[in-house]
Amino acid sequence: MMPQRSFRSLFRGFLESAEGFPQRPALFVDGESLSYANLRRIVYKIASAIRTLRSDQESFSLVAVLAYRSKTAYAGVLGSLAASKGYVPLNPKFPLERTLQMLALSDCTVLIIGKECLPQLSGLLKAADRPLVIILPEVASLAELPSRNPHHRFLFADQLPSREDFSFEENSTPASFAYLLFTSGSTGIPKGVPISQGNVRSYVNYICQRYNVSEHDRFSQQFDLTFDLSAHDMFVCWERGACLYCVPDNSIMAPAKFIRDHELTMWFSVPSVAGLLSKMRLLSPRCFPSLRFSLFCGEPLPASYARSWQAAAPDSIVENLYGPTEATIAIAHYRWDSQKSFQECSNGLVPIGQIFEGQQFSVTDSHGKSVPLGDAGELCLSGSQVATGYWHNLEKTQQQFVRLPGADDRLWYRTGDLVKQDESGNLHYLGRMDHQVKIRGYRVELQEIEAVLRRACGTDQVVSVPWPVHNGSAEGVVAFVSGIKTLDEARILASCGNLLPDYMVPRKIYLVDSLPLNVNQKIDRGKLSSLLEGVA
């Protein structure tokens, strides 16, 4: 397919900012500020290296990036896109097993590695089931890596082509990959969500206009790259020549000083961060005078958090965003209004608001038919931001991406989120229709945890419940096990830690005589939660 000349790829957005504002800062990371010109120089070296692989690698469309809050992390993302490849973010904080799964599922054979991830690299190289090309933009030649891993090919910093060797060619179309993200899968295997350039382009255009983003803005970058909300930070920021401020690992928990020191203008995080800052009394009135916009997404936003944040950042507009990964970052918004929003909240939670202009939604019953206004139903989404299916998973795709009865031929994504629409048109999130939960904003299928627990415990009688839950958000998971005589909790937790990211590892495992059942003979998760309330 010929590229559409009018299409503006994500990299084109960055490039035009680099041409328009070469000396303005594009990125602050690891205590260092990089101008657009300097960042582009590094990006072009990486892109050039990827392009040289065209001739001797089989055709590939995705490049994995294993880097963490470093120059290479961001330059790796941009370098992949500049070479007309989508990126697959990997996370050094995830267990090796999970990274290998993501790598194998994505079919990636080309990896960009940050120097901070060298400790993870040797294990990955040893366990990889196919020859890999490893690009190390910030690592000078390390003789032992190639000699110990003769099946893999290495491109070190001093072997990368110079930036002059690269000229950007716009080969991307709206259907080209932007990124492939993995979310928790109920079968125990992570589920891949491919998001196209067109999906992200729709989002970026809408958001840039809504928030009137300019080159004078300073964006927070708080999310790990494996969390799709990071795509908002990067691509909205670079589209308009603004600067991205990567929040260092040690400030993620309490970023108040970072916001103040760097006079950030655009804040984006999960609501839990506001809750933590509030508990630590770090949301004092007017403490964030520089913020223009404060955006929250990823889990329900309690009204009390919105109010505290608004007082801390009185000159900023506070918005609650909502969106599953399948609908690209966020697809609904609600603007907090100190005067009237409290009346519009239900169960103390801020509404998810209205669907972005140009995108479509329907609230449906179990047969896919629209429910009357005010009734609860499943939120279904359609439009230019919505993906068309899961990565190499036809069964799951057919379950979740459907045509609605009585509607036209368009494809709808069934979110599994239960919502209702009020008379003013605002949508309210009521909960999940399945066992998916949000832990600190991360989407988690409890069945995935239970699949790992079953193997580790040697019994099928395992249940995990989100715990503790405050204001509709879970801080972690606790497990119950039955059907075994003794429980080696430390060994089982270690086993979980080898396969699951830390936020999915149970905080505690209880051995019980039997698992309680409800009237339908299903495990009574509510009763287990009540038991936990008793011991808390």
Partner 1 sequence: MKPVAEQELIQQVIGWVKQNGLNGASHTEISESTNLLESGLLDSFAFVDLVLFIENCTQEKLDLLDVNPEEFTVVKSLCHLALQNGH
Give the residues lining the site for partner 1 (CB under 8 A).
248-254, 256-257, 260, 272, 276, 279-282, 284, 287, 475-476, 490, 493-494, 497, 502, 507
Min separation Cβ 260 and partner 1, Å: 7
CB 378 within 8 A of CB 433: yes
Q: Residue 262 CB, nearest distance to partner 1 (Å)?
A: 13
317 forms beta bridges with 293
Of residues 180 and 492, the one with the C-beta less far from partner 1? 492
Please identify, using beta-carbon distances, which residue of 484 and 494 lies nearer to partner 1: 494
- How far apart, in whole angstroms, are the C-alpha atoms of residue 385 and residue 333? 14
CB of 377 to partner 1, least distance (A): 33
Report residue 488 as tokens. Answer: 């080696």
All residues at 6 or more sequence positions from 398 whose CB lies less than 8 Å from its CB, including other chains: none
CB of 188 to partner 1, least distance (A): 22
Separation of alpha carbons 383 and 244, rounded Å: 28
CB of 138 to partner 1, least distance (A): 21
Here the tokens at position 301 are 């936003």
Minimum CB separation from partner 1 for residue 475, in Å? 5
Closer residue to partner 1 in complex, CB, 353/506? 506
Cβ closest to partner 1, residue 254 vs residue 373: 254
Q: Is the Cβ of residue 346 or residue 471 nearer to partner 1 in the bound state?
A: 471
Q: What phi, psi does 349 have (nearest 5°)?
A: -110, 140
Sign of CA dihedral 93, 200, 29, 244: negative
Give dist(CA 97, CA 54) in Å, integer: 29
Q: Which is nearer to partner 1, 310 or 359 (CB)?
A: 310
Of 299, 394, 301, 381, whose CA–CA distance to 348 is shortest? 301
Q: How would you class 460 by CB atoms within 10 Å of its CB: exposed for 0-12, middle for 13-18, buried for 19 or more? A: exposed
Least CB distance to partner 1 at residue 444 (A): 15
By beta-carbon proximity to partner 1, the closer residue of 38 and 269 is 269
C-beta of 115 vs 396, nearer to partner 1: 115
Decide whether 173 or 251 has the Cβ nearer to partner 1. 251
* CB of 130 or CB of 491, closer to partner 1: 491
Least distance from C-beta 255 to partner 1, angstroms? 9
Q: Name the strands in the sheet holding 110-113, side by side, starting at the edge strand that comes first in the sequence.
A: 153-156, 133-136, 110-113, 62-66, 86-90, 177-183, 191-196
Report the phi/psi class of residue 385: left, alpha or beta, with left for phi > 0 and alpha for psi in -120 to 50: alpha
> Minimal distance in Å, beta carbon 476 to partner 1?
8
| Residue 47: partners with Cβ closer than 8 Å, 6 or more residues away | 78, 79, 80, 82, 83, 166, 168
The beta strand positions in 172-289, using DSSP E, are: 177-183, 191-196, 218-221, 243-246, 266-269
Beta carbon of residue 250, minimum distance to partner 1 (angstroms, whole number): 4
355 bridge partner residues: 332
Is 478 strand, coil or helix? Answer: strand
- Residue pair 123/69 in contact by the 8 Å Cβ criterion: no
* Per-residue tokens: 316: 């900023």
In the complex, minimum distance from the CB of residue 256 to partner 1, in angstroms, rounded to a whole number:
6
- List the beta bridge partners of residue 295: 268, 319
Nearest CB to partner 1, comparing residues 10 and 437 = 437
* Nearest approach, Cβ of residue 15 and partner 1 (Å): 35
Using alpha carbons, list the distances in angstroms from residue 97 to 104, 501, 502. 11, 10, 13
CA dist 511 and 484 (Å) reads 8
Cα–Cα distance list, 321 to 295, 324, 353, 502 (Å): 7, 10, 8, 25
Q: Which is nearer to partner 1, 140 or 494 (CB)?
A: 494
